[in-house]
Amino acid sequence: MAVLLKLTARRSSASTASKSFSSYLCRGFSTSSSSSTLNPETDLKLGSLFSRNSLPLRPEPKDRNVQWVFLGCPGVGKGTYASRLSSLLGVPHIATGDLVREELNSSGPLSSQLKEIVNQGKLVSDEIIISLLSKRLEAGEAKGESGFILDGFPRTIRQAEILEGVTDIDLVLNLRLREEALLAKCLGRRICSECGANYNIACIDIKAENGKPGIYMAPLPPPPHCATKLIQRADDTEEVVKNRLRIYNEMSQPVEDFYRQRGKLLEFELPGGIPESWPKLLEALNIDDHEDKKSAAA
């Protein structure tokens, strides 16, 4: 597949490179409550993983794959677009929500604690998220992965600071969608319990009003072999989604500002469903992929 990435990576200044993850982590978490579950042995791994790739070993953009972050409200489609771009660019799509759900469904020690937090729509502690992300990056590194598209991380200023302290993020894409569509999209989300593919049974048709354009998003129905195996995420109920949206709106502004100040934030308003949005997103990202543009609706 012919992909031409024209994006000029915007990198933070080299001075940030000397800040180690551990110093951020220790400083950041030293003031956290006594209920902190910080495990330095595990949590410091994120820093060592990144710092193995950091100055003086920190590679130049031409030597490494993209390091992007996707921000956006629950239901906006971060997972869909991050996953498409990850296939196109050959970098892993790492969604912290998926890492949390894997841990929650395991028989690990955090499972019941996570279930309670996630099913109320609350955020998991920075310590746990960093620990899960560290493990995922370490596993990826062992498989020779390079670059990433992070989806759902960072969600707090502390997470953003930790990430900024240990590696260079080239671009932060902030996906936006009309508020009215978000709840319906979350409630319509379905997952195949067998293959894990994501579908959406909601048909969103918001008429233009008060100068705002209308928006139409067709459902993404499952093929017959998945149709009988669909499940819904336990946190995709109306009450929990409303709570997630409220918490996201509360926490996201400072994270957006953090990246805006560093000149890394790219705002992208979704104009509709995948067929309308995907080619425009590629254009906004300066990515040329003739084949993919043609098959956007696929």
Ligand X SMILES: Nc1ncnc2c1ncn2[C@@H]1O[C@H](COP(=O)(O)OP(=O)(O)O)[C@@H](O)[C@H]1O
Residue among 132 and 287 whose Cβ is closer to ligand X? 132
Residue among 19, 101, 155, 158 flagged as catalytic:
155
Interface positions with ligand X (CB under 6 A): 74, 96-97, 100, 117-118, 121-124, 129, 152-153, 155, 159, 235, 244
Indicate if 136 belongs to the active site: no
At closest approach, how far in Å is the CB of 73 from ligand X?
7
- Whether a cis peptide bond, with omega within 30° of 0, leads into 56 is yes
Q: Could you tell me the two tokens for 134?
A: 């560290």
List Cβ neighbours of 74 (8 Å cut-off, separation of 6 or more).
182, 186, 241, 244, 245, 248
Residue among 202 and 287 whose Cβ is closer to ligand X? 202
Residue among 146 and 198 whose Cβ is closer to ligand X? 198
Find out whether 79 and 175 touch, Cβ atoms under 8 Å. no
Q: What is the CA radius of gyration of the chain?
A: 19
At closest approach, how far in Å is the CB of 96 from ligand X?
3
In order of 23, 49, 66, 243, the CA distances from 140 in angstroms are: 24, 10, 15, 32
Residue among 233, 260, 262, 280 flagged as catalytic:
233
Residue among 49 and 183 whose Cβ is closer to ligand X? 183
Helix or strand (DSSP H, E) at 171: strand 171-176
90 backbone φψ class: left, alpha, beta (φ>0; ψ -120 to 50)? left
| Bridge partner residues of 231 (DSSP) | 191
Indicate if 242 belongs to the active site: no
What's the CA gap between 276 and 293, in Å, rounded?
10
Using CB atoms, what's the residue nearest to ligand X? 97
At closest approach, how far in Å is the CB of 153 from ligand X?
4
Indicate if 78 belongs to the active site: yes
Indicate if 155 belongs to the active site: yes
At closest approach, how far in Å is the CB of 127 from ligand X?
10
List Cβ neighbours of 118 (8 Å cut-off, separation of 6 or more).
100, 101, 104, 124, 234, 235
Find out whether 66 and 9 touch, Cβ atoms under 8 Å. yes
Residue among 19, 185, 244, 264 flagged as catalytic:
244
What's the CA gap between 180 and 202, in Å, rounded?
12
At closest approach, how far in Å is the CB of 27 from ligand X?
19
Indicate if 178 belongs to the active site: no
Residue among 54 and 80 whose Cβ is closer to ligand X? 80
The residues carrying an active-site annotation are 78, 155, 189, 233, 244
